[in-house]
Amino acid sequence: MAVPVYVLGAGRTDFRRNFKKEGKTIRHIILEAAHTAIADAGIDPKDIDSGVVGNFASGLFTRQLHLGAFLTEIDEKLRGIPTLHVEAACASGGVAVLTAAQQIMGGLHDVVLVVGVEQQKTMSPAEGAEVLAAAGDYHTETRQYGEFMFPKLFARIAQIYMERHGLSEKHLALVAAKNHAHARLNPLAQMRDSTLTVQDACTVSETNPCFAPPLKVTDCSQITDGGAALVLCSDGFFRKLPRRSRVRLLGFGHTTDHLSLDKKDAPDFSVGRKAVEQAYAVSGLKPRDIQAAEVHDCFSISEIVAYEILGFARRGEGAELLRSGATALPSVRSRFCTGSLSFVLPVNTGGGLIGDGHPVGATGVRQVVEAYCQLTGSAGERQIQGAERFLTFNMGGSVTTSVVMIWGTERRRVKSLKR
């Protein structure tokens, strides 16, 4: 990428919290995440030129919009900066990061603060599901699928995949169990105390009903409150700072498909693949150069489909990649496979949406926070040794909006992993 964009700092909230029960609002989530990121960046708030907030449905969940104005409450020095709020359903966070990066690439600003946020625990699960249905073709698809529309949309994707390529419910259970195992290594993950096993995830029970066949409750991401934030900067600003590891945006892609699932080519999602092709072309990298990834596992089937969209596996072979154990962290891999591996590519190292949580507007930003932690060696128990190329894939709706970003560190030259 010709114009460098760097991550200076990152922060997030604990995704297990219920902010309404704490007597707090979306304002508090935004401010907490932003303060953490600015402190991590080690800059004076006066250096921030602009702010972007990614959020899906705060107007429905909390009755609060005009979220950019809350950034001015971080510090008096931020009064007067330009801000905006971007929405692209579950890809709102990813689009927010790209919007900030493009402000820097375009020469408009040197330092931009990005915050992704959602407060969902303000209503019952049934009411929340009705809000989330707005990420799809609401008036058409709610008539077609009924209540809890989104699990049923992704159940339909799973059914199509099963018919075309073959897929067992154990494969779906492997996604859930793997990402819960990763979450146990993440002290801020919503499901960090989970002991979910593959057998648990395969078993239909009172607590794990199969309400959208073949998907069970364990195949679904959780209702989550949370925020995540980043400070991005230009090369010129970065060079003025004390020496530190450079985490840089290497490439990106962003596409939008038809809103209704019936108008898409599931499970191939060729429009989503175009975003991937753009990101690889801009970065000059290939799938074999990626060493870890955070993908949008809103449901277990979406992680398997993502492997193929991103080029990590051929069409129809995503489940086999999962079964091999290649996408599990080394510390938990023995629970999922016992054979030798020709390559490894840990996916959803922080737990993904299923394990870490899915505060919708924050997810795309949280993925980049995880990339930053891995690339700076600050991921704790889930650290991937030597990780220097990290991909994030955030999508909105039923793979309607796709945002792919590739991040890298410039600490030393990277050797490609053999596939």
Residue type, 206: E
- C-alpha–C-alpha distance, residues 403 and 176, integer Å: 23
φ, ψ at 208 (rounded to 5°): -135, 60
Q: Are the C-beta atoms of 371 and 223 separated by less than 8 Å? A: no
Is 90 noted as a catalytic residue in this protein?
A: yes
Q: Are the C-beta atoms of 229 and 365 separated by less than 8 Å? A: yes
Q: How far is CA 109 from CA 103, 105, 237, in A?
A: 6, 8, 10
The single residue of 85, 90, 182, 254 carrying the catalytic annotation is 90
φ, ψ at 84 (rounded to 5°): -155, 160
Which residues, in sequence order, are CB contacts of 352 under 8 Å at separation 6+? 179, 182, 221, 294, 295, 297, 303
Q: How far is CA 324 from CA 91, 163, 313, 411, in A?
A: 29, 22, 12, 31
The single residue of 202, 254, 358, 373 carrying the catalytic annotation is 358
- Residues annotated as catalytic are 90, 358
